[in-house]
Amino acid sequence: MHIHVLGICGTFMASIARLAKQLGHDVTGSDSQVYPPMNGQLEELGIELVDGYHPKQLEPTPDLIIVGNALSRGNPCIEHMLDSRMPYISGPQWLGDNVLFNRHVLAIAGTHGKTTTTAMLAFILNSAGLRPGYLIGGVPIASDSSADLGDSEFFVVEADEYDSAFFDKRSKFLHYHSNTLVINNIEYDHADIFGDLESIKKQFHHLIRTLPESGTVIFPAGDEAIESVLEAGCWSNQSCYGHLVGDWRYHVADQSAKFEILKDTPGGLQQGKVDWLLSGRHNVYNGVAAVMAAYQAGVSVKNSCEILSRFQGVKRRMETLYNENDFVLYDDFAHHPTAIETTLTGLRQKVGKSRIVAVIEPRSASMRLGVHNERLGSSVASADHVLWFCDNNVGQGIHRAMDGSAVSYEVIDQSETLLKRCLEFENSDTHMVIMSNGGFQGLQATLVECLKS
């Protein structure tokens, strides 16, 4: 079958293309200004890429068009596809129908931590010899692949609450036929498609409704939003974790670089210790959830913890890009106040009194709409200085958000000026974190090149 993927260079859609290729299909695709890193991986797989959306790419008519959720009405390919009555489907539905339907699906959902937790779980199961399939919304540092069909009944998938396509406004995760479901947290985000927190919780409850009675929901104790979703009706097993409460417990030592996990079972106490390079309490939560999910697949607590201690992280999740002359540069995907706060707090615990400079691009729809402005000032409290990169319209909201903050900051709207300011912190005891859910106009690569030269 010839499958053409519209919007192929995003991590999710590129992963869909990779899985379709592994299934034996003839896969092609297109995107606006075909871009790295996914274009290189796709070309290595022999997937032909088209730059742009001229309708000629749909001649002759593909057997199926998989439409990415970044595309909308008015796109030339979309209009030609609809006028010509070509067969099409969303990426999440194709994944659910063709890959996940007959698998034991371990789905990782929540506002924060999905990518890292999914990568952790896939790493644990693979290292334990279970050969799972997986689809991760990022690329693990120790791997060049964000997706693989695997060779067992298990499939680990990052389960996003964002909508599926312009013609299917259901959350992606409703297509996934989940058996084991991790919900890391639920907060308000994606203001472009959700009016409030209640509308997001409604989608999560739709997800709960799709779980079989034999399935399991894994979640942190004390999260009010999650608990309210479960109270609305849950017909599956529930397993929660906490520091002192829950059927799973954890104990943190050494500023989150080491922690212990304990599980009471009919056969006695199972426990394991994790000693890794990752920082931040949020990664402890991610790690505990991954171990709990792996337990559902038959991996012991001790074995999971030993494996997790070797986990190196995910690209663009506090990935170290440069470390010389007391200057350390990180790349991070944080784009929500909670994620910014937990990342910076974890870094502060790790580096002590060293200077922390956060370089933040408020790029998401929620950020640009000012939905999170009241929390931005407190979210950067662990930093010493913040460089906000945005236009004047968004910058006005940043100034109001930072009013009264003890953290010094600048609002910069020119990439050349931003690069110059970043380089001025070189040769000092500084940890600089670049935070964006986009490409940041290539700032990371340009900055590293300048530092090395």
Beta bridge partners of 183: 109
Domains of the chain with bracketed CATH: 2-86 (3.40.50.720), 93-308 (3.40.1190.10), 319-452 (3.90.190.20)
Q: Are strands 216-220 and 178-183 parallel, antiparallel or unpaired?
A: parallel
Q: Is the Cβ–Cβ distance between 215 and 237 less than 8 Å? A: yes
Q: Are strands 327-332 and 319-324 parallel, antiparallel or unpaired?
A: antiparallel
pLDDT in tens, 288-320: 999 999 999 999 999 999 999 998 777 777 788
**What's residue 26's pLDDT?**
97
pLDDT in tens, 21-57: 999 999 999 998 776 667 777 888 899 999 999 999 9
**What's residue 25's pLDDT?**
97
C-alpha gyration radius of the chain: 22
- Binning pLDDT at 50, 70 and 90, where does residue 414 land? confident
Distance (Å, whole) CA 336 – CA 324: 29
State the burial class of residue 437 (Cβ atoms within 10 Å of its Cβ: 0-12, 13-18, 19+): middle
| 325 vs 205, more confident | 205
Concatenating the DSSP letter of every residue in 53-83 gives --GGGG-SPPSEEEEPTT--TT-HHHHHHHH
Cite the beta strand spans of 55-206 per DSSP E. Answer: 64-67, 88-90, 104-109, 133-135, 147-148, 154-158, 163-165, 168-171, 178-183
Q: Is the Cβ–Cβ distance between 91 and 16 less than 8 Å? A: yes
pLDDT in tens, 132-151: 999 998 777 667 788 999 99
pLDDT in tens, 205-239: 999 999 999 999 999 998 999 999 999 999 999 99
Distance (Å, whole) CA 219 – CA 182: 6
Average pLDDT, the chain: 88
Which helix (H) or strand (E) covers residue 449, if one does?
helix 443-452
- Binning pLDDT at 50, 70 and 90, where does residue 372 land? low
* Average pLDDT estimate for 443-452: 83
**What's residue 376's pLDDT?**
74
Concatenating the DSSP letter of every residue in 215-244 gives -EEEEETT-HHHHHHHHT---SEEEEEESS
Q: Is the Cβ–Cβ distance between 307 and 399 less than 8 Å? A: no
Contacting residues for 218 by C-beta, under 8 A, at least 6 apart: 180, 181, 182, 183, 239, 240, 241, 289, 292, 293, 296
Q: How many residues does the chain have?
A: 453
**What's residue 418's pLDDT?**
86
**What's residue 80's pLDDT?**
98
Question: Is 80 exceeded by the pLDDT of residue 63?
Answer: yes
Residue entry with tokens 């890429």 = 49
**What's residue 253's pLDDT?**
79
Residue 265 identity = T
Contacting residues for 130 by C-beta, under 8 A, at least 6 apart: 152, 154, 297, 298, 299
**What's residue 244's pLDDT?**
78
207-237 CB burial, b ≥16 within 10 A, e <16: bbebbeeebbbbbbbebebbeebbeeeeebe
Question: Is 90 exceeded by the pLDDT of residue 120?
Answer: yes
**What's residue 367's pLDDT?**
60
**What's residue 365's pLDDT?**
61
Question: Is 70 exceeded by the pLDDT of residue 118?
Answer: yes
Question: Is 60 exceeded by the pLDDT of residue 381?
Answer: yes
Contacting residues for 252 by C-beta, under 8 A, at least 6 apart: 243, 258, 259, 281, 284
* Average pLDDT estimate for 254-270: 82
* Average pLDDT estimate for 248-267: 84
Query: In this structure, what are the phi and psi dihedrals at residue 231, rounded to the nearest 5 degrees?
Result: -65, -25
Which pair of structure tokens corresponds to residue 88?
Answer: 């099409």
Task: State the pTM of this model.
Answer: 0.81
Beta bridge partners of 168: 165
Distance (Å, whole) CA 231 – CA 265: 25
Beta bridge partners of 67: 6, 90
**What's residue 388's pLDDT?**
86
* Average pLDDT estimate for 352-370: 77
* Average pLDDT estimate for 149-174: 95
Distance (Å, whole) CA 92 – CA 409: 40
- Binning pLDDT at 50, 70 and 90, where does residue 373 land? low
pLDDT in tens, 191-204: 677 788 899 999 99
Best CA proximity match to 194, nearest among 164, 162, 225: 162
Contacting residues for 244 by C-beta, under 8 A, at least 6 apart: none
